[in-house]
Structure 1
Amino acid sequence: MKSILSLYFLIAFAIGTDTFLVSPLLPTLRQQFHISVEASGWMIGAYALGYALFALIAGPLSDGLNRKKIMLIGILGFAVSTFLCGLAWNFWSMFAFRALAGIFAAFMSPQVWATIPVLVPASKVTKSMGIVSAGFAVSQTVGVPIGSYLATYSWKMPFFIIGGIALALFALILWIVPQFKPAAAGRQPSIMDRYAELLGANGAKGSYLAFFAMLTGAFAVFTFIGNWLSDKFGMNVSEIGQVFIFMGLGNLIGSFVGGHAAARLGGRNVLLGGIGMMAMLYLMLNLAASPLLVHLCFFVLYLVFGTVFPIMMALFQTLSSTARGTSAALTNVVNYAATTAGAYIAGIVYAQLNGFFGLTVFALLCCAVSIGLWVKSGTAVAIKRSV
């Protein structure tokens, strides 16, 4: 069990590094491809768009297939697509390769979340979700900064290395992960039937909308962190990478304490209170007058984010026991749809509405909407039971 969770941690690390890597590289890639600020956000949005569109199909299909085979196909395609990003020669080629990487990640990532409740006892699901979430956090703490430093020599190098890591993960999946046969033999429900079952669960629709609202604001801010730090403080790529270390460290700590915080304070209180704290922290970023205060604000912000994220992921997996792949895929679709929306909105707001301040106000409003939707859905009340 430990070996599989360790492998899942590494998969999350590789996918997370690839997902977040482009943000600190935006100033460099913007100059390399001679594109505008508004267009540059789509180098992040392309990956998210490819993921969001194909996960809608990949998730329900995986519920009726062997999940290990889906994992292998996904990680191999992800490795090749990421390597090709390092060979991109203009904006549109980078857009296409990033979208292709997102498509293959859509087949891979949901299987990790969906198999955790099958592999571990119910009492350890949230802790296991936290371990996988920590992989994403470490990708910010270690993977993205290392990629940023490597990019000072060549922006292509990080993509080549991530592609190589993904190929190694292909071999580990083949060796370690067991076969996951479909829960029921014979005729499988259609894709629409699986979504109908999942979204018919009490409060499911409101929960996914609340998740989307929170993440849209978060990713809108995240997309232009590199530009903001470059414009306001004159930071170069390696200095921006140092800020991402603090963000990832906060996220990492939060990933491990989320389950404990929910047990002590109540899942509902941690979720709603955490989103409220994030709203205030977004505004506080504008008061940061020095790089040191910027580091501190981002650390606390992502500490809170890392605390609430595993709680939400565990909750979504309780909505249906027969459509876990669909649930995991839809959760990730919402995640990357929010990334796409956030990246698109961020380019407009940053360029037209007072730069980074406008983004933080937008993120605060998204958090307020998210809290309202969580309360209205009623699922926040059940978090304590589910974690």
Structure 2
Amino acid sequence: MKQEVIPFTGYQKLVIFLLAITQFTVILDFMVMSPLGDILMKSMSLKPSAFGIAVSAYAFSAGISGLLTAGFADRFDRKKLLMFFYFGFIVGTFFCGLAHTYVELVAARIITGLFGGVIGSISMAIITDLFSLQQRGRVMGFVQMGFGASQVLGVPIGLYLANFWGWEAPFLMVASLAIIIAIIILIKLKPITAHLAIQKDKSALLHLWHTVKKRKHRIGFTSTALLSIGGFMMMPFGSAFAINNLKITNEQLPMLFMISGLSSLVIMPIIGRMSDKISKFKIFAGATIWMMGMCVLYTNLSATPFWIVVILNILMMMGVMSRMIPSSALTSAIPEMEDRGAFMSINASLQQIAGGVAAAVAGMIVVQKTKFSPLENYNIVGYVIVVISIISIFLMYRVSKMVTEKSSEIDLAKVEEEIVLSEGI
């Protein structure tokens, strides 16, 4: 059934832009670890398991940070929270660029994760506060374009910088860009405080407990965690697999990420509009089934011509992106306004922790005998993703059902209110 498309105001468009460029830097900081994987593993003589820990260090610290701050997320102006954590993210990213050893890099990733991992949940809470459910699919489509933009612009530029000045250069680039963005947000974004007027819990810990104990919240948390496990397992070793198994060259790698990112920029707004017009769950289920098939095909490849690798990456990206947008929009509709900050923080925390577990597990599954040997057991990662994705479809169906029931209750309440008002007149 088609739904009415509600247009954005001028200020809403500005908010979308600010959140999108913020997400661009945060996602780029995380995303750049994957394409730098082969360079880092060779320069630091790292085994896949050690690199998996370097990737998961960010995710675990981000998850822990989110849980620790969840109880406070609805007790402050969301703009102030965003600025605080974004500043910490900038400092941590600079430390990544100044690291010279594996231990220093892992420590810097932990610091970055402690701050950067909370930014996504704050952005989600802002989106849910300022945009109706009928607008959120389009908002998610634009904000999550940061994922595609990071691949089109950030990752290729980062790889070129890494080839000339070392793997530290991309992190310094991200931190410098983030400083400029932080200044713009400070000047342009208005305070977001509507949730403070309806906050009932006096204790942050009590608020956290009230958020976790709700059954509908736990269903949302579980679905998000499983989505993250499926999404993160292939990512850390993507560049190493492309170079050592598919025989892509270091010079071709930036082009591969750029083309995949461009496809994301085209796909995401389209999926966002579709999810606002038709069933979000149907889009999610179809995209997940598509992604499962592409994962199995891709992870079983050996040496492959570059143009075929590009096409397969685009097709796989279609599945990945097309499930992210409707799932985010559906999950955002679960909590009430007074719980949104805490819900989004916990949700993002579990997402990060699940991603950290996925990266660490993938590091234990994947084996590489020497620095230049093909990765082994990468196809097993693909099969694990299939199993997890099937379960995630079932859980997202339950989320969709809850959201539909909630919307029906709200509509019924409006009708009853109108009847009472008309009778009073």
| Structure 2 residue 268 is the aligned partner of structure 1 residue 252 | no
Measured at CA, do residues 386 and 130 of structure 1 come closer, stay the same or move farther in structure 2, by a change above 3 Å? farther
| Structure 2 residue 349 is the aligned partner of structure 1 residue 333 | yes
Tell me the equivalent position of 1:178: 190
The count of corresponding residues between Structure 1 and Structure 2 is 385
1:259-316 Cα distance to aligned partner (Å, 9 max, x none): 3333555222111222111111101112473322221122122222212212222222
Distance in 1, Cα, partners of 2:249 & 2:98: 23
Distance in 2, Cα, partners of 1:96 & 1:177: 32
| Structure 2 residue 225 is the aligned partner of structure 1 residue 227 | no
SS in 1 for 2:33: helix
Distance in 1, Cα, partners of 2:136 & 2:395: 25
- How far apart are 1:114 and its partner, in Å? 0.6
Distance in 2, Cα, partners of 1:221 & 1:311: 21
Measured at CA, do residues 97 and 197 of structure 1 come closer, stay the same or move farther in structure 2, by a change above 3 Å? same
Distance in 1, Cα, partners of 2:209 & 2:180: 37
Tell me the equivalent position of 2:57: 46
Distance in 1, Cα, partners of 2:188 & 2:116: 19
SS in 2 for 1:210: helix
- How far apart are 1:43 and its partner, in Å? 1.9
Check the 8 A contact 1:254/1:307 in 2, yes or no: yes
Alignment of 1:27-176 (within 5 A): 27-154=38-165, 155-176=167-188
Check the 8 A contact 2:287/2:318 in 1, yes or no: no
2:327 alignment partner, one of 288, 312, 318: 312
1:359 alignment partner, one of 381, 387, 395: 381
Distance in 2, Cα, partners of 1:335 & 1:11: 19
1:357-386 Cα distance to aligned partner (Å, 9 max, x none): 1111121122122123334xx222355688
Structure 1 counterpart of 2:377, which letter?
A: G
Measured at CA, do residues 386 and 45 of structure 1 come closer, stay the same or move farther in structure 2, by a change above 3 Å? farther
| Structure 2 residue 263 is the aligned partner of structure 1 residue 241 | no
SS in 2 for 1:82: helix
2:295 alignment partner, one of 269, 282, 300: 282
1:193-231 Cα distance to aligned partner (Å, 9 max, x none): 434444455543233222222321221111111111111
My pick for the range that moved more, 129-138 or 82-91, is 129-138
Distance in 2, Cα, partners of 1:322 & 1:254: 33
Measured at CA, do residues 4 and 386 of structure 1 come closer, stay the same or move farther in structure 2, by a change above 3 Å? farther
Distance in 1, Cα, partners of 2:71 & 2:147: 24
1:228-280 Cα distance to aligned partner (Å, 9 max, x none): 11111333434222222233233333321223333555222111222111111
CA RMSD of aligned residues (A): 2.3
| Structure 2 residue 416 is the aligned partner of structure 1 residue 380 | no
Check the 8 A contact 1:30/1:37 in 2, yes or no: yes
SS in 2 for 1:23: coil
Measured at CA, do residues 322 and 36 of structure 1 come closer, stay the same or move farther in structure 2, by a change above 3 Å? same
Distance in 1, Cα, partners of 2:354 & 2:395: 16
My pick for the range that moved more, 99-108 or 49-58, is 99-108
Distance in 1, Cα, partners of 2:297 & 2:403: 29
Check the 8 A contact 1:59/1:330 in 2, yes or no: yes
1:38-61 Cα distance to aligned partner (Å, 9 max, x none): 101222111111111101122331
SS in 1 for 2:333: coil
- How far apart are 1:82 and its partner, in Å? 0.5
Structure 2 counterpart of 1:144, which letter?
A: V
Distance in 2, Cα, partners of 1:344 & 1:121: 37
Check the 8 A contact 1:78/1:102 in 2, yes or no: yes
2:366 alignment partner, one of 317, 334, 350: 350
Measured at CA, do residues 277 and 192 of structure 1 come closer, stay the same or move farther in structure 2, by a change above 3 Å? farther
1:194 alignment partner, one of 198, 201, 207: 207
Tell me the equivalent position of 2:418: none
Larger Rg: 2
Q: Mind listing any 5+ residue stretches in structure 1 that lack a counterpart?
A: none
Check the 8 A contact 2:16/2:139 in 1, yes or no: yes
Check the 8 A contact 1:267/1:383 in 2, yes or no: no
Structure 1 counterpart of 2:332, which letter?
A: Q
Structure 2 counterpart of 1:271, which letter?
A: F
TM-score, normalization: structure 2? 0.84
- How far apart are 1:189 and its partner, in Å? 4.1
Distance in 2, Cα, partners of 1:330 & 1:186: 17
- How far apart are 1:92 and its partner, in Å? 0.8
Tell me the equivalent position of 1:324: 340
- How far apart are 1:147 and its partner, in Å? 0.7
Measured at CA, do residues 276 and 193 of structure 1 come closer, stay the same or move farther in structure 2, by a change above 3 Å? farther
Structure 2 counterpart of 1:216, which letter?
A: I
- How far apart are 1:106 and its partner, in Å? 3.0
Tell me the equivalent position of 1:218: 231
- How far apart are 1:118 and its partner, in Å? 2.2
Q: Mind listing any 5+ residue stretches in structure 2 that lack a counterpart?
A: 1-10, 369-374, 408-425
- How far apart are 1:355 and its partner, in Å? 2.5
- How far apart are 1:159 and its partner, in Å? 0.8
SS in 1 for 2:71: helix
SS in 2 for 1:178: coil
